[in-house]
Structures are given as C-alpha cells and as structure tokens.
Structure 1
Amino acid sequence: MEAQQDRLVLTTTDLELGMTCVIPVDIMAPGKVTVPQRIFQDVVGNLPDGEITLRADERNLLALSSRKSNYTIHGLPADEYPAIAAVTSEMTLSLSAPVLRELIRKVLFAASHDEARQVLTGCLFQHDGHRITMVATDTHRLAIRQMPLTASATSPFQAILPARALQEVLRVLGGSDDEVTIVITDRQAQFEIGRTRILTRLIEGQFPAYERVIPQGQEKRLSINRQAFYEAIRRASIVAKSESNKIILRCQDGVLAISAETGDVGKAYEELPVQQEGDAVEIAFNAEYLQEALPVMESDVIALALSGPLNPGLITGSDDPDYRYVAMPMQIL
C-alpha cells in the first residue's frame, strides 16, 4: 500500500493475477509498506464503522486504529514488492458493466477445474469486428454467449481468460453500470473498472473448435417451463447424487418424466407438461450440468433440442437469443 498525495493505492498480486485499487483519503505523510493481505483484510473487515488511521514506520510496522481498536501488523519493505504496470495495446475494447457481467455470468460456470487441461480452465473471449463472444467448456458441456458489438473497439482479438480472473472481475463489477475498458496484449489482459484495475496473464494454447460441437438439425424438441424444470431437476438430484448425478428424461405425448434411482438412497420421479415436437424422448444427463445452466437464462420457456440418446442436447431460449448451452448425455444403462 502506498500513500500518494490525496489517495491510497492498494496493490496485490500472485504474479498470475494482480489488482490495484485507488481510494481517496486524507494523507498526513506519503509512504508505502507491504503487509500480509489476509491479515490486513480480516482486521479492517472486522473493525467498527468509522474512520481508520494507518501509520507505517521505518521498521515496516503498520499501525491501525479506529475508535478504541488498535492493531499493529508486521510488514515488509515495499521496494521488494513486484510492480504492476498498466498495459497498453492496440487491442482495446470498451464495454458497459452490465454487458460484461452478462457475458461472464452466462458461461463461467462451464469452465473446467482440471488443471491438467489448463486451456479449458479459462473462457475464450473474442470479437470479430461485428460481435463479442465468450465461450467456456469442460468437454462435458459448452456455454456460448454472443452479443452484437455496439461498444467501441480498436481491432479484433481473441484471448483465453483464466476463470479465476473473471471471477474477480465479476466480483468487482458488482451492480455497477460504469464503462469498463479492456486491454488485450499477447500475454496479458487488463480490466479497468472505476478505481480498480485488474491485470491477468492469458492462458496459452489453442481453444477447442467449439462451433463443431454445437448440434445441428435435431428432429426432437421439447419446450419446457424453465423454473419448473429447474426445480424438478433440483429435487431429483437429491437422489441422483450418489449415482454420478444421473437423471433420466423420458417424454411422450407431451409429458416429461424426470427420474433418478440409486440403490442406497431410493427413487425420484417428477412429471412436467411440455410442448413436444418429434418422436418420444429418452436420454440421461448429469443433473448438475442442467442445474447450473438454467438459472442464468432469462426465458420463461426454454427449448431442449435432441436427436438421440447418445448425442448432445442443445438448450436455447426465446429471451436468450444469443445464448446456447450444449450438454453431453450420459449412458442410461
């Protein structure tokens, strides 16, 4: 942390992800010190409401006081802390916070947690001059959100952003309506959100050719109330958890049956009225993959397009025209 003129600059980094936040404060004397982030956060977060006074001495001891609370934290010389320099690039994009929040929220949950396939632990972020696209996949599911490019951008780009960095971006965005400036270089991405700047390394590698995974020409289609579908799956998943979260969907004559069965728990059975196009349906999915996708959609009615029990299903919604979600099926057995 560094006191400069009328502001306090807070900087943190793990060399993969860094953040700088500028806070307007009353400065009695300039100076800087490095302190343990977790301890500082916990102390400040638990102090009573009111003004906080910070003082650092030549021994790198940081004293905090607020009302009748007084703490001292052992720090380190600030000169030894790695600097986070602002990045510049020809690839710059300006988006409103609601648009960026929408892009991230609709796909982030589908990113992989498997570090052995690092390229899948991030989200593909690209713009081609006409639209913005964000994609995430863990090979079992695929989430795609596209938007027309109405914001200012300097040149097209493509980058794989770490999911961990996007989680921080989402957290900092909160409910803001401000403009966000995004700068992309060959190795880094920078997000400027109000007084906060987030800098992250990009994930190197080739993102899968996701377009080839999107099903085409399915002859079976179910139109389902999204909220009722979500609640039925959530209930059935209580039983399905001990059986790899497998739920079975069977649909005939406009009635969708959702079932799960495990030897050590029991059985679950739900029925929902649907609009059915095409032949009868029988397919199994991981309940978790459906549970995570349905809440981020806006449509009251979603469409589940299918072709066969071993082919992926495609979920879309009339109020989500540029959102597509693909889920791989499980074997029914």
Structure 2
Amino acid sequence: MQLTVSRDTLLKALSRAQGIVGKKSTMPILSNILIETVANDRFTVTATDLDIFSKGEYEGLSEKTGRICVNARDLYEIARNLPAGNASLETVDQTSVRLVSARTSYRIPTANVDDYPPMPDFGAVEYIAIDPDVLGGLFDRTLFSVANDDPRVFLNGINLEIPEAGRVRLVSTDGHRLSLIDGTVERTPELDHPVIVPRKGVVELRKLLEESADPLEMGFAGSNAFFRRADLLLVMRLIEGEFPDYTMVIPKSSTNVVKVGLVDFQNALKRMSILSLERSSGVRFALAPGEMTIESSDPDRGEGKEQLEIDYQGATLHIGFNARYFLDAIAVMKGNEVILELSDELSPCVIRDAGEPGFLCVVMPVRIT
C-alpha cells in the first residue's frame, strides 16, 4: 500500500478512532486500526472494540492499493506532531510501514490484517434523518447521569423510547440521580420497545456531532444502533437488559416549590462545594420563605455559608444534597431560572428547567453530619 494524505485529514481520521479502540482488551489487535485504500483517491479507517464499530472514508491519493493494521495511539501521536502538509504511508514489508512527512520519517510495526475483526453484516437498516443539534441536545441532558462501569449493566447507558410519533424520550440514572428529557423530532425511528444506548457510544457520537452540523441519519436493527454521515458510519451494540421503571422514582407531587435564578444558584453551589466533604460534595440547604441558605463544612478544611433570595413560601426545611449532581443538571439547562420541587428532608428533589419543560432531574438527598 502507498498512500499520500494531508496531515489534517490523517489527524481527523485518527482522532475519531482514539475513543473507540480497545485500550483494556485482552485482544491486542483491538488497539489497532485498519487503514484500507478503496480507490485511487479514497481510503477508509476502521476502529472497533467489538461493541462499537466506526468506519470513515477520507480523501487521499493511492498509487498502490492495499491495507495495513497499525497501532492507533502511536500513529495518532505521530500525526499530531507532524509538520503541516502531506504525509505518505508506504508498506515496507508484511510487518512494517514507513511514514514520511517533509524531513521526518518513521518505520512503524504493523499487525496481521487478517487478524483484524471484520465489520459484521448488519443486514438492512432503515435510516431516518435527524437534526444533529436536536439529537446532541437530547443526549447532553441525560449523559451526565449515566453510570460508569456499574455491575448493573443496564445503568451504563441511556434508555431511549418513542412514546408517540414525533416524540423521543431519553432517561438515564446512576442510582443516585435520574435525568429525563422529552424531545420533539420531525421523524421517529421504528422502535416497538425501549432500547439502551451505551454510554461509550454516546460519548463518541457527541464528538462527531461537535465536529460539524452536517446532516445525520440514525437507525436501529437487531441489537445495534446506527448513526451515519456522508463520510462515516458509527455502529454501537445496544445494552441487553431491561431499564428500571423510572416512573417509580419521580415524585408524583411535591409540597414545596422553590424558584431561584440559575446563575446565582450555580455560582453559590460552586463556591460552597469548595469546602464540602470531598467524598460526597455534600452541601446543606436551609429553606425559609423568600430565602435559601447553602452551607458546607469539612472538619479539616473549614466551612462556608451563602444566602440567596428565592421565590418560596413554604415551610422551613433543612436537607442535604450532593452539590455536583445539582451543578451537572444546571450546566445543561436553557432557561434563566431553576425550579426545585421538594417534600421533606428524606425525599428526593426534582430539578426542572424553567426554559425547557420537557427536562427534569431527580436527585436523592444525602445525610450530612
């Protein structure tokens, strides 16, 4: 194989693969990517950890067709530090490839291409066009509360369901908090039951959506979710299992409702979390008509207190929460006001965005001594 490609194109292709290749796998081949020329002016880069497949097509001049399997991290670090301009990749023998750019050259070992897992034949997939900004916004409002490597595997993803035509609902929880967003879309995929989209796959999809606002299509078939653009296909294996009944976690009613300015509340939480217990990021809310006091303390580091003006006419209430959970929810809100719904010191708090009625977050209280 002999391929000439611009540094920027090569870097784009390799950066897309970094989060996908298997870093902790017992199969060394999964730390590699597969580069293959498909025409005299195009090449593809494939990356996988067996749960996620990514295949992108890029511009590059090929004088000799072929394919190579090379370590994804090493080639990325090399490309990231190359000078601007073109770089060439040429097979030296069956065990190495030479990369040349200006006065810089490398000889890099390659793996056996026949050992690289082929992308499965997924069969027919029905795709629908979806606004990438809309899809990205829906995932943003649920990704922060997904569990990470929880033994309850169904918590390591986002539950996606279609309540009715034109509506999509995403829900996630890590057992301590829950987030839910109802979104409106022009078309909905054909789904007759909820599916759980894996956290890692969503993270990689968000990276692609941040690259550009190019049109995006999505689809579901078998046990996989598919997302594609003109130059890229991203396939992720859905998580098996049944998502817990999240409706049992969301309080049906609350006796106390607080309205507070988003920026003031956010800044106060940031300031008070500085001296909170590092393990729990715990802060105490003291509610009284028209006023909220946020307190934090650590026996070894000191204590802090801040008062906020709020719209509240309920009873006096003292309750503790993890400040980070509130900050994560506030960070994805659109409006200027946060609505808190509480009942007592042992019940969860429902956090709502005054600027987006379809979004809510439920946070469990914590005991702070």
Partner of residue 113 from structure 1, selected from 141, 148, 153: 148
- Report if the CA contact (8 A) 2:98-2:107 is conserved: yes
Identity score, percent: 27
In structure 2, the CA distance between the partners of 1:81 and 1:114, relative to structure 1 (3 Å rule), is closer
The 5 A counterparts of 1:41-80 are: 41-80=76-115
Partner of 2:220: 184
Q: CA deviation at 1:86?
A: 5.8
Scaled by the length of structure 1, the TM-score of the pair is: 0.95
- In structure 2, the residue corresponding to 1:289 is in which secondary structure? helix
CA distance in 1, matches of 2:366, 2:188: 43
Q: Deviations over 1:108-147 (max 9, x none)?
A: 0101124311110111112234211111101110011111
- Report if the CA contact (8 A) 1:55-1:64 is conserved: yes
Letter in structure 1 aligned against 2:328: E
CA distance in 2, matches of 1:91, 1:144: 26
Letter in structure 1 aligned against 2:172: A
CA distance in 2, matches of 1:26, 1:176: 24
Partner of 2:38: 4
CA distance in 2, matches of 1:231, 1:122: 30
- In structure 2, the residue corresponding to 1:172 is in which secondary structure? helix
Q: Deviations over 1:262-320 (max 9, x none)?
A: 21111110111110142223211011111111111111111001111111101112211
Partner of 2:255: 219
Partner of 1:101: 136
- In structure 2, the residue corresponding to 1:79 is in which secondary structure? helix
The 5 A counterparts of 1:172-321 are: 172-242=208-278, 244-321=280-357
Letter in structure 2 aligned against 1:63: R
Scaled by the length of structure 2, the TM-score of the pair is: 0.86
Could you tell me which runs of 5 or more consecutive residues in structure 1 were left unpaired when the two chains were aligned: none
In structure 2, the CA distance between the partners of 1:218 and 1:190, relative to structure 1 (3 Å rule), is same
Letter in structure 2 aligned against 1:41: Y
Could you tell me which runs of 5 or more consecutive residues in structure 2 were left unpaired when the two chains were aligned: 1-34
Partner of residue 138 from structure 1, selected from 174, 177, 195: 174
Letter in structure 2 aligned against 1:4: V
Q: Deviations over 1:87-110 (max 9, x none)?
A: 345664431110111011111010
Q: CA deviation at 1:76?
A: 1.8
CA distance in 1, matches of 2:181, 2:129: 17
Letter in structure 2 aligned against 1:56: T
Partner of 1:25: 60
CA distance in 1, matches of 2:180, 2:221: 23
In structure 2, the CA distance between the partners of 1:146 and 1:93, relative to structure 1 (3 Å rule), is farther
In structure 2, the CA distance between the partners of 1:114 and 1:253, relative to structure 1 (3 Å rule), is same
Q: CA deviation at 1:187?
A: 1.8
Q: Deviations over 1:227-272 (max 9, x none)?
A: 1111111111111133621100011121110001121111110111
CA distance in 2, matches of 1:242, 1:155: 42
Q: CA deviation at 1:189?
A: 1.5
Q: CA deviation at 1:194?
A: 3.7
- In structure 1, the residue corresponding to 2:99 is in which secondary structure? strand
How many residue pairs were aligned? 333
